[in-house]
Chains A and B, each alone.
Chain A
Amino acid sequence: MHEKKDPIIFSSYEPREGLFDEVFEDNGSVKSIYKTLFDLYGGHSVNDYENLNNKAKASFFNQGITFQVYDNEQTQEKIFPFDLFPRIIHPLEWEIIEKGAIQRSRALNLFLWDIYHDKKIIKDKVVPLDLLSSSEHYLHQMMHLDPPGKIYNHISGTDLIKHSDGEYYVLEDNIRCPSGVSYVICNRTALKRALFGVFNHYQAHSVTNYAGNLLQILETVIPRGVDNPNCVVISPGRFNSAYYEHSYLAKAMGVELVEGQDLFVENDFVYMKTINGPERVDIIYRRIDDAFIDPLEFRPDSALGVPGLFAAYKKGNVCLANAPGTGVADDKAVYTYMPEIIKYYLDEAPILNNVHTYRCSRPDELKYVLENIDKLVIKPVDEAGGYGISIGNQLTKSEIEKVKATIKEHPRKYIAQPILSLSVHPTYIEEEGSFEQRHVDLRTFTLLGKDKDFVLKGGLTRVALRKGNLIVNSSQGGGSKDTWVLKNEA
């Protein structure tokens, strides 16, 4: 029951022209898949909705899904912004995403095997040699090393967007330590707690089966001679911003969450220090970057890793997931060759679209980029988290000149893509007390094991909370939404 003076939440929703709205048609009517949901939400008054929103927030605090912010000498705990209005994905649309994600994961895995062995793809001149030789993430230590089960990228996060043409495009593949999957699960939990009634009207796929599948995948890549593998998750520790996720995954898999200091290597075997003495470790799902996993082999100043771990890995006595050196393949320059890579290894056409990319390392394309910066997004090839991105049409003249100079100095370091228009989704804006259009993307999670694969039916829909902002990363002020993949058409 709400009073008359209390407006309903969609009353000031203003669709802007030229944007692809996930919920509304161009003529303002609600898309059929969202119809029931819109009716269920639309009846809420701003006050009611504000209450629900606060409940959802409390749910995150109580679940301890927070991160620390340091300001004015005081540490504050904050939650990642969560939007209660879910994103729905049609089962047919999902089928394509799922197939496409697996295809990319497989192709990237074969690519990694190849470049760390015979380098056929380079000999065949499908991709240029300098693509590898100039990559910071290429690890010569991985040459001719066979990871258990021949798997490199056990866990991949594929970032997709929907363009104004209504089609999905892959923005990037993340195959180092992709994070965010725990938010998929706690977004679902928070939504269920606040608005359980809506689930009576939609049949969404469960997302809680991720950890179980992850463990099964990891157990397909066990080191030789191990029957009953002991799997652990290694984390940099509780001050890491993804610590919640690390602990969640360990708990949900029922395995130990360890830190570097809990492990040691003896005679090329890895052990953890338990209250009953040393216990052997066979599979390590590592959430520490390559450079930090072993101070003897990589960065000597790393206190997060385990001395001797890489030697044990080299001997085949322990499996690391993902394998070291995968970063060379999720580089934004490699991304531009994905259609060729898929064709080369799988002899298939890519199922998911790649965004057309201009490589500044090629003189002709560099020329185009320098002349058309105002129409392009310039990205460094090896930065994660949305850092270092310049969006051409938001730059002043002097900024454009600056960007030009940086590109000319290190052309290999930059790529450019047309400014894509991310689709928008109605998102509740607290300060306004109403729903507004905000840009969204979608990160999917794909698991690859020996003769087994899995794609989580759902994903992390990230929302750029600032008006007009296209960058959705949480480090840049993004929020997220629960994402429903429907079992059947609504």
Chain B
Amino acid sequence: MLARVANNLFWMGRYIERSEHIARYLNVNYFSSLDAPHELSQSRQFMLRSTLFMIGDPVNDTDQVLDEEKVLFNTALNQEKDYSIISNIKSARENANSARDLISTGLYEAINRFYHYVLNYDTNFFVKKGLYDFTVHVTEQTAVLRGKIRGSLLHDQVYAIIMLGINIERATQIIRIINAKYHDALLATGSYGDQVAHSFEWTTLLKCIESYDMMRRFYRKTPTSLSTLEFLILNGDCPRSVMNSLNQIYRHMSVLDKAKRPAKDSTSFLVGKLRAEIEFTKVESIECNVQEFIQQILEKLVEISQKMEKEFFNY
């Protein structure tokens, strides 16, 4: 496979995954805030700030009053914002375009249909009535795309590259969402016991990563800070945990780099090392410095991505 095309496929995977997380974050955050138990959690302004924080356009001025429709438009349909859902899908499609000969017709058509759906979505309808319909459709379409990726591509290097993009992005987004919601939980605390640990925001966090139902099955308890972080970072059985993403990154990496003992300066080495670190981490040890811990993971994911670029996408 051409190095240039590999790079495009990698980013196609990343953009598809990214658009899903933004859409779900917007959806869950907005709708759970409508009847949230905490006054702050229920506030529109709080929710909008949280959204902008998560997508990387934080508002630092505490007095600034945000325009709801504008924030929604920017997050979803504003083509001039690089972080918007539409920009992500557009980028995914452009990357798919330049690798069109390698991906299946079915996958390409699904990406195209998706793009035209988003492109033709009425902005006015979206900000007034279409938020739920639009965000749900986006998350569903990304599921369709993943299904096409898994089910209509040969599981060779092409597949491995796309899956690496998807999983590196997934781990990154999980960390970003945890970071945003951790931030929210510190402000919107619970009403009893350790107030941060019992914040309603942990439930929202789990729903933002589509892991609430799985988590309830696993713990059979109301989520707390500790159980939520353990589940989303360390539980390899949760398909939307950092651990699970790293396991997949490790597996797909081995398709590209067949060395049994990866060289010290290889991507494979970095992936294996980070994976082992997370695997042998206990939640108690990160409890008191959550932000520092997730910041470290984020930096290492960036390092892996940069290493990949050097090692495989050099053209």
Contacts and interface: CB of A to CB of B under 8 A. Distances in A.
B112 A275 contact: no
A184 B98 CA distance: 22
Contacts of A274: 1-3
Interface residues of A, number: 24
- Which size class do B's interface residues fall under? 20 to 34
B312 interface: yes
Given A247-B101, A256-B101, A64 B2 contact: no
Nearest to A247: B100
B157 to A, nearest CB: 7
B53 to A, nearest CB: 31
B113 interface: yes
A181 interface: no
Contact of A258 (B2, B256, B314): B2
Given A63-B109, A275-B1, A262 B100 contact: no
A255 B100 CA distance: 12
B4 interface: yes
A64 B108 contact: yes
Interface in A28-69: 61-64
A153 B116 CA distance: 39
B4 A61 contact: no
A174 to B, nearest CB: 23
Contacts, number: 66
A465 interface: no
Contacts of A275: 1-3, 6, 157, 161, 256, 312-313
B153 interface: no
B100 A251 contact: yes
Interface string B88-116: 00000010011011100100110011001
Given A62-B109, A62-B112, A257 B3 contact: no
A61 B94 CA distance: 14
Contact of A257 (B100, B112, B256): B100
A261 B312 CA distance: 16
Nearest to B119: A77
Interface string B131-161: 0000000000000000000000000010001
A258 B116 CA distance: 27
Interface string A217-242: 00000000000000001000110000
A61 B116 CA distance: 8
A273 B3 contact: yes
B315 interface: yes
A272 interface: yes
Contacts of A62: 109, 112-113, 116
Interface in A241-277: 243-244, 247-248, 250-251, 255-259, 261-262, 272-275
A243 B101 CA distance: 11
A61 B101 contact: no
A64 B3 contact: no
A273 B101 contact: no
Contacts of A272: 2
Interface in B213-254: none
B44 to A, nearest CB: 33
A231 to B, nearest CB: 12
Nearest to B108: A64
Interface in B8-39: none
A5 to B, nearest CB: 31
Given A261-B4, A274-B1, A238 B116 contact: no
B101 A262 contact: no
Contacts of B100: 64, 244, 247-248, 251, 257
A251 B112 contact: no
Contacts of B105: 63, 251
Given A262-B315, A275-B1, A275-B157, A64 B109 contact: yes
A238 B98 contact: yes
Contact of B2 (A244, A247, A273): A273
A91 to B, nearest CB: 30
Contacts of A259: 4
A430 B256 CA distance: 52
A273 B4 contact: yes
B34 to A, nearest CB: 36
Nearest to A74: B79
Nearest to A189: B105
Contacts of A251: 100-102, 105
Nearest to A262: B2
A448 B238 CA distance: 57
Nearest to B111: A64
Contacts of B314: 273
Given A64-B100, A238-B98, 9 more contacts: A61-B112, A64-B108, A238-B97, A247-B101, A257-B100, A261-B4, A262-B4, A275-B256, A275-B312
24 contacts: A61-B116, A64-B97, A64-B100, A237-B98, A238-B97, A243-B97, A247-B100, A247-B101, A248-B100, A248-B101, A251-B100, A251-B101, A251-B105, A255-B101, A256-B1, A256-B5, A256-B101, A257-B101, A262-B2, A262-B5, A273-B314, A274-B2, A275-B157, A275-B313
Top 6 A-B residue pairs of the complex, sorted by shortest distance between their CB atoms = A250-B101, A247-B100, A251-B101, A257-B101, A275-B312, A64-B112
